[in-house]
Amino acid sequence: GAVVSQHPSRVICKSGTSVKIECRSLDFQATTMFWYRQFPKQSLMLMATSNEGSKATYEQGVEKDKFLINHASLTLSTLTVTSAHPEDSSFYICSASGTGTYNSPLHFGNGTRLTVT
Amino acid sequence: GEDVEQSLFLSVREGDSSVINCTYTDSSSTYLYWYKQEPGAGLQLLTYIFSNMDMKQDQRLTVLLNKKDKHLSLRIADTQTGDSAIYFCAETPGRDDKIIFGKGTRLHILP
């Protein structure tokens, strides 16, 4: 079946530094990738939708200059948390949707646990 | 607006059936999903149902959809300790891939 790989699974960084998280679709081309954030014991919050070759669409309240998303190819999207602060500590999950599909089931990466000290 | 509601906790004895319920508000939903999340892991797609169906069965899993009441349920037969996880109900409202999640139901298995 379709697989989405997310890296790294865990990262600890110091306040003020930037962290890049990668999301790859391994056996299909992903025209659309989604980035979610999950706070402890809460549901997933959609942060942004990225389409290959175009600018990401951010949800209301998500700072586009802080959470930089790049979807340079059909198999890779990256989320960069810039100038990270402790309140950015969270679980970030990406998901991907294949080409030529409409409302196909989304496949998720295993998530990245970000801890900002 | 778009909203998905589900109860936060469910405790079930090992071997019994678990039924996790979910309600949603968007009548234009096309697909409805059940995802499983184990501790520290991402989401695993368990099953999904297209909105013109009312039931789908896959091994121990049975999904029931009542479109009139906008109610979705997931039944897990013969619940095992490995079923202990958080189960998220989700929907895709309308013609796009945006997905709306419920807050998740934590399933706890009693010995």
pLDDT along chain B (111 residues), means of 10: 84 97 84 85 83 92 94 97 93 68 91 87
| Six-digit token string for A86 | 């402790």
Contacts B45 to A, Cβ<8 Å: 105-108
Partners of B37 in the β-ladder: B43, B86
Q: What's the rounded mean pLDDT across residues A82-111?
A: 79
Give the per-residue pLDDT at B63.
97
3-state secondary structure of B78: coil
| Six-digit token string for A3 | 């697989």
| CB-based contact A32 B99, cutoff 8 Å | no
Give the C-alpha separation, B6 to A61, whole Å.
25
A1 pLDDT higher than 60:
no
Residue with tokens 């998220």: B88
Q: What's the rounded mean pLDDT across residues A54-68?
A: 92
Give the C-alpha separation, A7 to B19, whole Å.
34
Residue B54: which H helix or E strand, with range? none
| Six-digit token string for B13 | 């004895």
A102 pLDDT higher than 70:
no
Give the C-alpha separation, B77 to B59, whole Å.
9
Higher pLDDT: A1 or A5? It is A5
Range scoring the smallest mean pLDDT among A61-75, A98-112, B29-43, B87-101: A98-112
Measure B76 CA to nearest chain A CA, in Å.
20
Residue B111 Cα to chain centre, angstroms: 23
Give the per-residue pLDDT at A77.
93
A16 pLDDT higher than 70:
yes
Smallest Cβ–Cβ distance between A105 and the set B41, B48, B103 belongs to B48
- What is the length of chain A? 117
Q: Which of residues 6-65 of B touch A (CB under 8 A)?
A: 30-31, 33, 35, 40-45, 48
Give the C-alpha separation, B56 to B51, whole Å.
11
How many other CB atoms are there within 10 angstroms of residue A35's CB atom?
Answer: 27
